[in-house]
Chain A
Amino acid sequence: SAVISQKPSRDICQRGTSLTIQCQVDSQVTMMFWYRQQPGQSLTLIATANQGSEATYESGFVIDKFPISRPNLTFSTLTVSNMSPEDSSIYLCSGGTGVGYTFGSGTRLTVV
């Protein structure tokens, strides 16, 4: 299965700024996803990152707030824009081909 590297692992950001999270897969994968996870809670899907086209966002998430890029089959970025304290969370990248997706270790974001 694919190995996913995600960075940064954590960051503390000022409100109103933006942070870009990178996700690198060690092999080409068909699907890449971005999730948000509050401590002690389940995973909430933000969007599916589509290679070469606009991401597919879940209800409650919009492109202006969470722009996503996926230039090839091994790399994707998620930007958290105009951050507020409510954006403090763990952001996770996931990917794979078929089923049995793997996850990165996550980015712990704190907005102050």
Chain B
Amino acid sequence: QQQVKQSPQSLIVQKGGISIINCAYENTAFDYFPWYQQFPGKGPALLIAIRPDVSEKKEGRFTISFNKSAKQFSLHIMDSQPGDSATYFCAASRETSGSRLTFGEGTQLTVNP
């Protein structure tokens, strides 16, 4: 079964802290792992993505860590800001044209000022 399991369901962090969201997948055929950020009333927006040939990818305050052997990947938000408060979804797919995304359950992040 092609599932992506995400945790925690909700997360509260103080401003300046580190937010960590974890995901685990089952299908070893997956080779593309994006993270989406969704604000209320908006569609999900692609935040950062990684392919399994690297163990880490960093873009600004956002970092994906990838553990291929454990079939796990995580999103780290450094120096979390109140503006980062949103719902975050991990996803996975095969990097072939036409491949659908399989989404995690989502994490509602709240960053307190």
Contact = CB atoms under 8 A, between A and B. Distances in A.
A105 B101 contact: no
A103 interface: yes
A100 B46 CA distance: 7
Interface string A88-109: 0000101001111111111010
B58 interface: no
A41 interface: yes
A99 B49 contact: yes
Which size class do A's interface residues fall under? 20 to 34
B93 interface: yes
Interface stretch (A42-50, A67-75, A77-85): A42-50
Interface string B18-54: 0000000000000010101000011111100100000
Contacts of A48: 98, 100
A31 B99 CA distance: 9
Given A30-B98, A43-B89, A100 B34 contact: yes
A33 interface: yes
8 contacts: A4-B43, A42-B106, A48-B98, A99-B49, A100-B49, A102-B46, A103-B36, A108-B41
Interface of B: 32, 34, 36, 41-46, 49, 89, 93, 95, 97-101, 103-106, 108
